[in-house]
Amino acid sequence: MFRFVAPLMPTLVEKPPEGGDWIHEVKFDGYRSQLIIDEAGTRIYTRNGHDWTAKYRDLVKEAKGLAAESAIVDGEIIVLNDAGLSDFGELRKAITRRQHDLYFVAFDLLHLNGHDLEPGGRIQFSEPLPGEAKAIFHLVDQAGLEGMVSKRRDSKYRSGPSTNWLKAKCYAIDEYELLGVEREAGKPAFALMADRATGKYIGSAFITLNREMRERLWTRVQDHAGTAPKGMKRPATQWVKPGIIGRVKHLRGEEDLRHASLQDFREVDDGRG
């Protein structure tokens, strides 16, 4: 009976590596998972080793069709949107309501008991992408994908963080509600943002505006002074009333804002626009 193997975790970089020593694959926007097949049956684990077999019952049934007596497969569980792209928001809904929409994308085979692994149906193999890293990354970005993973051709699979695998994520630009501006002496200023549909705090964005726009933003913040949302205690923040919308550049495929920067802002009458 196989035990869960801690996954190899790629290092995040700004740009994918160049040169012929690397192969490149699409980075899917889903749940990193591990599929194990052995004498005890078929199981699926999360990246942290939690047994989620019961949550992925349809994929477990699908895996029984693989020509393998025993295997450990590293992959990502995803759901596709209408454009054919992995959609993290829809994934969580599909797990509880639409099991038939789930796919397991396999990208590394950790163990196979002397059998060829030929995934079919809703268990798919992640193919390496041909071409130069810069061109691949451009196409991945244009396609609206989360990013790409680059692996050293001569590297071996080892559990834990590794620079033999590198992940480069694409950026997206979206609009969010400004909750307030956090300013402390000697530290960068941050804009605290909320989801426009729910009003829920979604993270902070580094303010990269030029001097004129920063002064205009601070004036608007003072003119729209408000109170802190319920449950939020940040003493260095000047809170604002609804009505200022920020245009934020951030890493694609994250639940909350990450590596985010405020690019521009505007005012609206109803706080939504």
Give the separation between CA 225 and CA 240, rounded to whole angstroms. Answer: 4
Determine phi and psi for 60, rounding to 5 degrees. -60, -40
Closest CA to 35 of 163, 122, 153, 155: 122
Q: Give the DSSP H/E element, type plus range, for residue 162.
A: strand 160-169
What pLDDT, on the 0 to 100 scale, is given for residue 270? 47
Per DSSP, 148 falls in state: E
What pLDDT, on the 0 to 100 scale, is given for residue 84? 87
CATH class of 171-267: mainly beta
What pLDDT, on the 0 to 100 scale, is given for residue 114? 55
| Strand 261-267, strand 31-38: pairing | unpaired
Q: What number of CA atoms fall less than 13 Å from residue 32's CA on the CB side?
A: 12
Q: Which residues of the chain have pLDDT under 50?
A: 270-273
Q: What number of CA atoms fall less than 13 Å from residue 85's CA on the CB side?
A: 16
The answer to whether 128 and 24 are in contact (CB under 8 A) is yes
The answer to whether 182 and 234 are in contact (CB under 8 A) is yes
What pLDDT, on the 0 to 100 scale, is given for residue 8? 95
* Bridge partner list, 36: 43, 72
What pLDDT, on the 0 to 100 scale, is given for residue 233? 84
> Within 10 A of 106 (CB to CB), how many other CB atoms are there?
20
Please, what's the b/e burial string for 189-209 (b: 16 or more CB within 10 A of its CB; e: otherwise)?
Answer: bbbbbbebeeeebbbbbebeb
Determine phi and psi for 139, rounding to 5 degrees. -65, -40
What is the fold of 8-169? D-amino Acid Aminotransferase; Chain A, domain 1 (3.30.470)
Extents of the domains making up the chain? 8-169, 171-267
What pLDDT, on the 0 to 100 scale, is given for residue 269? 61
